[in-house]
Amino acid sequence: MTNLLFRFVKQAASLAQKRCAASPTAVSDPTGHGFPGWKHVTLHLLRVHMDATYREIVDWASEMDRVRGLLQLARTAFPAPSTLYRSFERVPMSVWRSFLRESATICDPGSHGAIDATFFDRETASRHYQHRSDRHIRTLKTTALVDTDSCAILDLHCSAHWPHDTQTGRRVALRNTEKIESLAGDKGYDDQSLRDALRSEGVRPLLRHRLFAAYDHAHNARLDSELYGQRWMAETAFSAIKRRFGPAVHPRAWYREFRELVVTATVHNLERALKQ
């Protein structure tokens, strides 16, 4: 077992223990056997980090002496793959998002954020399955708030119905105003009510105006070019995730797909923290 992998497990376990201690009932064992929730979370983070299936991660982790020692588990005491599978969806999305926010703090983020959206493919399924499950949506829209100093993902919003950027951008930006002092976004987030809401929360909006009149050129010219130019860090974060984990999500159910994207972003933050 490499030292880097063990460092990741230590960091993931520390994150899981801290969050589960703050809310002991947030993560529970589906079998009711009292298996601590933080161990479930650690195994889920390790599963994404190693790009493994539920069965593979149980088999591999049970053979890693240092991981078993960290999790305080005997080789035969690991949860069954089906138990791990069920525990993943039992954790509310709000709790997974709290793990994401906590992982971003490990990267020592700055005060400037960038917002952008991208699309992730849903893993292809048979025509019979798509027809039976009424699964006609092929891609998921994902909006992320990214710290431009560390390239850590501060927050994530997923949707299967492709809402306009001004709608998702408003939700993501306004629930994170205490973390940033300025926010950069392209003209897709051009919304005067969003600018006013950000200013009322003490956040400087650096949102490019769409060009309808001459004064829109003037508004864009007044943008801080250095700070606005860091908007590309959001694209960098998306590119890093797609190169590392692939452009598609593997679960079939939409609620598991959303959770998988948030966990993937959390693993991205933990891996960046290890490189600092």
Distances in whole angstroms, Cα of residue 9 to Cα of each of 47, 77, 104, 197, 212: 10, 18, 16, 40, 52
Range(s) within the chain of domains with CATH label 3.30.420.10 = 101-275
Q: 178 near 155, Cβ under 8 Å?
A: no
- Residue ranges in the chain whose pLDDT is less than 70: 1, 24-26, 28-34, 123-136, 210-224
- What pTM, to 2 d.p., does this model score? 0.89
What CATH number does domain 101-275 carry, 3.30.870.10, 3.90.1150.10, 3.30.420.10, 3.10.20.600?
Answer: 3.30.420.10
The H or E element containing residue 155 is: strand 153-159
pLDDT in tens, 116-170: 999 998 866 555 666 666 566 778 999 999 999 999 999 999 998 888 888 898 9
275: tokens are 């490189």
